């Protein structure tokens, strides 16, 4: 009996010692991992900023491909939410919210796992010499729970390897995107601008010649009315039906002017768009249009009008079509 009492007393002493020591352990824990990726910061940033892309690189998504996922606020950028439910013991239920998003520089996240107190995570991006360094961090307040505080001592060993594998996956995904020349779709807000334009119905096979004539006429109008071109020309495809296009070709100008004959004039309102750059010949523009349309459908947005193309490269200054850049915008509700 005395032996049992001594064992219990010893056990009690050990437990008491561990409890006392726990309150001297750090309440807040933190870890960071980093990696260098051969891709522009814009490419890497968007794989994190777009929560739909986490399926491609997140270790936890790959642990349970069957977990239920729901997205809120489009799943992209600040205020985007990603919730999951899983029976996998290493995944469980949780919620991730983007609390801050500074394009190509940093992203902050709030993590909620079941009934545990929220923790935070962050990404920092820095680009130099075609390489992007990504730092992925995690921080948590272990509170007054002594068990949690002891677990905090092992956070690097428990979570660090998952961060390292996730970053390696992010590197692979980002570098493949660059190698394949895949477009990056982003949500942007275009400011309002003044314009003059021409709108007419043309056939797809004649669109290049027709646009050349339309821009020539607009340029002459701008010169004759002492207006100033303030941005690159654009076109809006209001409707395409059986090879026939309801086309508007326009040029942004410095001030509002009056319509003249068939030349339209006005102020185009600011709006929200899904935007991507097409690099290459105009003949392959359709591929990037299709890519953006699939992205919009996958993110459950609704297109609110005809797409707009802005021609950022002047073919007369750059004769190589492979270097032409065309920004494509789809208006969203």
Region 191-217: what's the mean pLDDT?
Answer: 95
CA distance 316 to 232: 13
Q: Which residue has the higher pLDDT, 142 or 193?
A: 193
Whole-angstrom Cα distance, residue 223 to residue 220?
A: 5
Confidence of residue 16 (pLDDT cuts 50, 70, 90): very low
Position 144 scores a pLDDT of 52
In the predicted model, is pLDDT for residue 184 greater than 80? yes
What whole-number distance in Å separates Cα of residue 62 and Cα of residue 125? Answer: 24
pLDDT for res 194: 98
What local confidence, expressed as pLDDT, does residue 161 receive?
Answer: 86
In CATH, the number for domain 186-331 is: 3.20.80.10
Most confident of 11-20, 86-95, 134-143, 274-283: 274-283
Kindly indicate the confidence band of residue 201, based on its pLDDT and cuts at 50, 70 and 90.
Answer: very high
Split at pLDDT 50, 70, 90, the class of 158 is low
The values of phi and psi at residue 151, to 5°, are -65, -30
Q: By three-state DSSP, how is residue 238 classified?
A: strand
Given a contact cutoff of 8 angstroms between Cβ atoms, the answer to whether 138 and 159 are in contact is: yes
Question: What local confidence, expressed as pLDDT, does residue 246 receive?
Answer: 97
Q: What's the whole-number mean pLDDT along residues 137-142? A: 72
- Decide: 71 and 52 in contact? Cβ < 8 Å: yes
Question: pLDDT grade, residue 62 (50/70/90)?
Answer: confident
Residue 130 has a pLDDT of 86
Superfamily grouping for domain 24-180: START domain (3.30.530.20)
Same fold, 24-180 and 186-331: no
Going by pLDDT thresholds of 50, 70 and 90, the confidence category of residue 140 is low
Note the pTM of the prediction, 2 decimals: 0.84
31 alpha-carbon distance from chain centroid: 24
Predicted pLDDT at 191: 96
Task: Give the domain ranges of the chain.
Answer: 24-180, 186-331
Spatial separation of the C-alpha atoms in residues 61 and 162, rounded to whole Å: 11
């Amino acid at each position: 009996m005395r032996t049992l009492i001594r064992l219990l007393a010893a056990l009690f002493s050990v437990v008491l010692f561990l409890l006392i020591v726990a309150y001297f352990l750090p309440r807040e824990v933190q870890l960071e991992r980093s990696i260098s990726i051969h891709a522009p910061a814009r490419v890497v940033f968007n794989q994190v900023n777009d929560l739909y892309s986490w399926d491609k690189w997140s270790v936890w998504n790959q642990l349970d491909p069957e977990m239920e996922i729901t997205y809120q606020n489009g799943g992209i950028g600040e205020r985007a939410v990603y919730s999951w439910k899983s029976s996998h013991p290493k995944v469980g239920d949780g919620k991730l919210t983007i609390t801050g998003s500074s394009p190509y520089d940093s992203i902050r996240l709030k993590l909620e796992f079941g009934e545990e107190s929220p923790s935070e995570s962050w990404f920092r991006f820095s680009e130099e010499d075609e390489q992007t360094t990504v730092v992925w961090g995690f921080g948590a307040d272990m509170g007054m729970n002594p068990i949690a505080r002891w677990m905090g001592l092992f956070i690097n060993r428990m979570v660090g390897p998952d961060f390292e594998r996730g970053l390696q996956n992010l590197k692979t995904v980002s570098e493949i995107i660059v190698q394949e020349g895949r477009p990056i779709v982003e949500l942007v807000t275009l400011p309002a601008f003044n314009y003059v334009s021409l709108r007419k119905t043309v056939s797809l096979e004649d669109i290049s010649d027709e646009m050349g004539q339309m821009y020539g006429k607009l340029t002459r109008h701008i010169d004759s009315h002492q207006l100033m071109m303030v941005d690159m020309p654009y076109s809006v495809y209001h409707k395409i039906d059986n090879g026939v296009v309801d086309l508007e070709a326009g040029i942004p100008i410095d001030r509002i002017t009056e319509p003249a004959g068939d030349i339209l004039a006005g102020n185009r309102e600011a709006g929200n768009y899904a935007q991507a750059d097409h690099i290459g010949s105009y003949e392959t523009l359709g591929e990037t249009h299709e890519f953006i349309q699939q992205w919009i459908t996958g993110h459950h947005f609704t297109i609110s009008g005809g797409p707009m193309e802005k021609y950022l490269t002047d073919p007369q200054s750059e004769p190589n079509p492979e270097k032409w850049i065309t920004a494509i915008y789809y208006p969203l509700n």
